[in-house]
Amino acid sequence: MEKIDRSYVRKIRYAVQWGIFLMVAYAGYKFYIFAQALENGLIPAVTRPPSIEGFMPIGALMSLKLWITEGIFDPIHPAALVIFLGALLVSLLLKKSFCGWICPVGTISEAVWKVGRKVFGKNLAVIKYIDYPLRSLKYILMAFFIYVIIIKMTPIQIAGFLDTPYWRVSDIKLLKFFTEMSLTTKITLSALFGLSLLYKNFWCRYLCPYGGLLGLLSVLSPIKIRRNEAACIQCGLCSKNCPSLLPVDKKATVNSPECTGCLTCVSHCPARHALDAALPNKKTIAPKIFISGIIALFFGLILISKLTGKWHSSITYEELLSLVPIVHTLAHP
């Protein structure tokens, strides 16, 4: 049997993940400086980084409904909708690869369980009869947001919300959630960190409604991980190394919404043509093509939004300056 080495796939993935994480971290730092200037009554000397709106998916879901129903592209936080659309598009065509390659929360989550494995020698696994109910939590949360926003809220109500002072400074309020944490927030985040040390991707696997939505959408993706039984040598390395704990070595096609398209299983497979990302006709997609597709789709959409004026917020710094003094008093309308 001819063995192959595709460890380069993991190296590329880590480079992409941490490259994007550093970009997001830098944007977060710039936004902190931006918000501090506003709070000090000054027009910021740094520009506001639109990419921080990626952490506002609930508002983006509202914006998506308004855009579809009324043709109105939210001018206040347009980047939130662009990033949300990018995640949906990538998941629809290339599995849930937004989670496996782009999401900075997913990157941190993965890093934490790897640290836990080094410290404790292994990661724990939730028994199957508890794992299934726990995994349903993210879908319950997802269903709640879809029901409230997509089904219950009318376009007029959404337009009204997106025109409120609350939505205009929601990014600053989100920043303060982390810079001025309540005791409850500190305890919750500490608990999540501890559980993430012990269990692989605890937040992503059990609690993230965003990932739940992308996972269900990814079931429709034409490209899936497919195993060639004739070429498989039954080494089990694919399943052993799968971050999502999927039994890849037992499946002809990995249809699970938990698959993040990270290609970790593919990168560990030593048998040529035994495991690949492939189309329904079993035409394989080379890892480099798959990865290039993720980057081209997601960042290509951002580039298009910039060229068409759908990336930067229309709200002026002067208007933000007038709203910042009441950030602490603003409640959800």
User: HEC profile for 192-228?
Assistant: HHHHHHHECCHHHHHCCHHHHHHHHHHCCCCCEEEEC
Residue 327 has pLDDT above 80, yes or no: no
Q: Which one has a higher pLDDT value, 333 or 65?
A: 65
Token pair 């710094």 is found at: 317
In whole angstroms, give the CA distance from residue 200 to residue 129.
17
Percentage with pLDDT > 70 across the chain: 98
In whole angstroms, give the CA distance from residue 91 to residue 99.
9
The pLDDT tens digits of the residues spanning 252-275 come to 999 999 999 999 999 999 999 999
Average pLDDT for 164-170: 93
What DSSP character marks residue 276?
E
Question: How much is the mean pLDDT over the chain?
Answer: 94
∠ CA 37-42-44, nearest 5°, is 55
Torsion of CA 220, 225, 226, 228, to 10 degrees: 180
The pLDDT tens digits of the residues spanning 87-102 come to 999 999 999 999 999 9
In whole angstroms, give the CA distance from residue 275 to residue 230.
11
Q: Which one has a higher pLDDT value, 2 or 63?
A: 63
Token pair 């292994």 is found at: 122
